[in-house]
Structure 1
Amino acid sequence: MKELEKNPEKLSIVVIEDNRGDFVLIEDFLIEKFKLVEIIHFRDFKTAVNFLETNKQNVSVVLLDLNLPDKQGMELINDLLCYNFQTPIIILTGYSDLVMAKHSLQIGISDYLIKDELTPVVLHKTISFAINRNSFINHIESEKVNYENLFNFSPQPTWLLDSTTLKILNANKAAQNKYGYSLEDFLERSFTDLHPEKEVLLIEQKLASDGEELVRYPFTHFLADGKEIKVDIYSKAINYSISGGLIVQSNDITKTLKRISTIEAQNAKLKEIAWTQSHVVRAPLCRILGIINLIEEESNNPADMEFWLKQLRVSTNEMDDIVKNIVNNTNNFEEE
């Protein structure tokens, strides 16, 4: 109420009332309590709805009498709410019906006032609270839509789970596209159904840890076509319904693990090549160096010279074969 007094923006109030005397009284109360107010009067449901459909963004609040010439009671309330104008609606009625009042508030009416009990102060407070409450509700709904968009359009497969049963309550577009299940298919499953039986206890323990990454473990997930992928799982508890909820994301690491496996295999081959260079190559190389020393010492003996030259050729050919083998292994390594 004080916010409206400090910031006296012009209010546009629609009064749907067929009784002229009641309307004049309401009009006087509104003019008395609101500095800037536009009062728009309609005597029946049809003309009021026609106006609201084209001006709903400019209407601050609707004051609704429950007995109009073309519609009355709960039928009137339900039909007006069906249009979802997102404008607070306050009922003004000549009689007290607590059952109707309670039901009206449950289905979306902002407040319920008895005309005989109406005063300028009561009307002012009711309108002020209704406008502020409606603004707050609209803000919450807007934030809800934003979070739903963040959930649905996240590029990571994401699920909303019941924290007690791990039943899937929602699955975003990325999860549906990646796993090949429709939303309806997911809603019939528990999150553990995506895992092999041997991993069920592990995933239950991980999801119960409330996102604590004490141990990173690559889990297995089954896609709709039976294909297996390896995934990292991330989860966080959220406030949702009575039992609580979990937001869970998966990250496909199948290609990453394959690359790691390839790198490890390549490293093994590199070690093998290095071992060959440091051990296998040294044997013929040592023999060649030894033969050269002997040739230098016995250079005057032609018979021995011929023998050592043959041995030198044998060792040289062996060395050549080893070098070719190293080159072939290196080429195969580069191709992989």
Structure 2
Amino acid sequence: MKKDLKYEEPITVLVVENNDGDFVLVEDYLFEKFKSIEVKRSQDFKETASTIEKNKSSLSVILLDLHLHDGSGLELIKKVLTAANDIPILILTGYSDVSIAQLSLQLGVYDFLVKDELNPNLLYKSIDFAINRRQFICQIESERLNYENLFNFSPQPMWLLDHDNFKILNANYSAIKNYGYSLKEYQDMSFMTLHPKEEQEHVSKWLSDDTHTAKNDNFIHLLKDGTQIKVDVHSEEVKSASNEKMTIVQSNDITETLNHIETIEIQNNSLREIAWTQSHVVRAPLSRILGIIDLIETHKDNIEDLSFWLNELKNSSNEMDTIVKEIVNKSQNFNLTNQDE
């Protein structure tokens, strides 16, 4: 018999059965096919609800008979489903209850087993499938929550759009905080509302372009209070759980960056102007001064010429002084502007 034991992981099974003979049979099947198993039993719904509440974290699966003295049929199934939350439920039923058991699948029951056809292998396979399916569903739910958190808690504003009409389906916390719209307001508007009218046609074509999965471009966004900001926008096509096409959009406010670049360009122009002044305007009076000095040295015996050239030397020196003062003034203005930035 040990050769037939297949399931190695420890599990806990709650058998909801008020018939002693049926319970003993199911219990034997469970011990035959599961190596490490704890079997709990309840005989009515009240006891079942209490057992579930006390063992929610440890219960692996619930085997539910459809006929208890305090409940039966679909009503019993609904109450146990509510109490069990995400614990897998397998129905143990007779032939007369098959139609009800089939309906129970639509409510969230994992499987139903006809008692007269029950055997160790069938019970094992159904429980094994239910446990694996629950783990898979939990994994998917965990991944969904992770993606939801990545979306909601991203520091960059993000929106989820209908792929066809660009209606906003969802917006993250950053988009709500930075743009001023509530989630309800977002869900009542199109993404185009965030763009000035002259941009909307271009944005629509840009979002509709399916030649590339991911793309980015620079646009203007309008905040709720009317403020315009310059943004770098990224978009990518995604699919929902039902395989519907959607578009996820992320914006990055680059207003300060562009303003900083503009300031740098203005400063560079000022620097180029100062450099040009130094290399051209200053050279003119400097050349005259050097020339006058040379003439004085050449004609130092001619007093009349010396007086004239000294006067020219004074004029050129004053001219150069004025130019130097202008350069110093421009440099100081440049430094003050740079400090303000």
| TM norm structure 2 | 0.90
Q: Give 1:334's aligned residue.
A: 335
Residues 66, 72 of structure 1: 8 Å contact kept: yes
How far off its partner does 1:20 sit?
Answer: 2.4
Alpha-carbon distance between aligned partners in 2 of 1:121 and 1:326, rounded to the nearest angstrom:
96
Q: Give 2:277's aligned residue.
A: 276
- Residue 253 of structure 2 aligns to which amino acid in structure 1? D
Measured at CA, do residues 50 and 119 of structure 1 come closer, stay the same or move farther in structure 2, by a change above 3 Å?
same
How far off its partner does 1:71 sit?
Answer: 2.4
How many pairs does the alignment contain? 331
Question: Which shifted more, 295-304 or 181-190?
Answer: 295-304
Alpha-carbon distance between aligned partners in 2 of 1:92 and 1:199, rounded to the nearest angstrom:
63
Q: Give 2:56's aligned residue.
A: 56
Where structure 2 has 5 or more consecutive residues not aligned to the other structure, the ranges are none
Q: Give 1:14's aligned residue.
A: 14
Alpha-carbon distance between aligned partners in 2 of 1:201 and 1:249, rounded to the nearest angstrom:
19
How far off its partner does 1:24 sit?
Answer: 2.4
How far off its partner does 1:98 sit?
Answer: 5.6
Alpha-carbon distance between aligned partners in 2 of 1:96 and 1:147, rounded to the nearest angstrom:
45
Question: Which shifted more, 254-263 or 282-291?
Answer: 282-291
Equivalence map 1:171-190=2 (5 Å): 171-190=171-190
Alpha-carbon distance between aligned partners in 1 of 2:256 and 2:9, rounded to the nearest angstrom:
60
Q: Give 2:255's aligned residue.
A: 254
Secondary structure, counterpart of 1:220 in structure 2 = strand
Alpha-carbon distance between aligned partners in 1 of 2:234 and 2:83, rounded to the nearest angstrom:
42
How far off its partner does 1:219 sit?
Answer: 0.4
Q: Give 2:24's aligned residue.
A: 24
Measured at CA, do residues 331 and 99 of structure 1 come closer, stay the same or move farther in structure 2, by a change above 3 Å?
farther
Measured at CA, do residues 100 and 220 of structure 1 come closer, stay the same or move farther in structure 2, by a change above 3 Å?
farther
Measured at CA, do residues 14 and 308 of structure 1 come closer, stay the same or move farther in structure 2, by a change above 3 Å?
same
How far off its partner does 1:97 sit?
Answer: 4.8
Q: Give 1:206's aligned residue.
A: 206
Where structure 1 has 5 or more consecutive residues not aligned to the other structure, the ranges are none
Alpha-carbon distance between aligned partners in 1 of 2:44 and 2:281, rounded to the nearest angstrom:
103
Q: Give 1:296's aligned residue.
A: 297
How far off its partner does 1:39 sit?
Answer: 1.5
Q: Give 1:118's aligned residue.
A: 118
Alpha-carbon distance between aligned partners in 2 of 1:43 and 1:84, rounded to the nearest angstrom:
16
Alpha-carbon distance between aligned partners in 2 of 1:47 and 1:75, rounded to the nearest angstrom:
16
Q: Give 1:266's aligned residue.
A: 267
How far off its partner does 1:263 sit?
Answer: 0.5
Q: Give 2:287's aligned residue.
A: 286
How far off its partner does 1:92 sit?
Answer: 1.4
Alpha-carbon distance between aligned partners in 2 of 1:33 and 1:5, rounded to the nearest angstrom:
5
Residues 7, 33 of structure 2: 8 Å contact kept: no
Q: Give 1:37's aligned residue.
A: 37
- Residue 329 of structure 1 aligns to which amino acid in structure 2? K
How far off its partner does 1:211 sit?
Answer: 4.5
Equivalence map 1:77-88=2 (5 Å): 77-88=77-88
Alpha-carbon distance between aligned partners in 1 of 2:169 and 2:5, rounded to the nearest angstrom:
45
Alpha-carbon distance between aligned partners in 1 of 2:229 and 2:99, rounded to the nearest angstrom:
57
Residues 5, 33 of structure 2: 8 Å contact kept: no
Residues 92, 114 of structure 2: 8 Å contact kept: yes
Q: Give 1:73's aligned residue.
A: 73
Alpha-carbon distance between aligned partners in 2 of 1:7 and 1:242, rounded to the nearest angstrom:
35
2:159 pairs with 1:154 = no
Measured at CA, do residues 234 and 30 of structure 1 come closer, stay the same or move farther in structure 2, by a change above 3 Å?
same
Identity of aligned residues (%): 53
Secondary structure, counterpart of 2:205 in structure 1 = helix
- Residue 204 of structure 1 aligns to which amino acid in structure 2? S
User: Following superposition, which runs of at least 4 residues in structure 1 exceed 6 angstroms of deviation?
Assistant: none
Alpha-carbon distance between aligned partners in 1 of 2:96 and 2:144, rounded to the nearest angstrom:
36
Alpha-carbon distance between aligned partners in 1 of 2:256 and 2:234, rounded to the nearest angstrom:
18
- Residue 142 of structure 1 aligns to which amino acid in structure 2? S
Alpha-carbon distance between aligned partners in 2 of 1:189 and 1:242, rounded to the nearest angstrom:
23
Question: Which digits, 9 at most, give the CA deviation of each residue in 1:215-264, with x for residues without a partner?
Answer: x6420011111111111111221222443112211111000000000001
How far off its partner does 1:64 sit?
Answer: 0.9
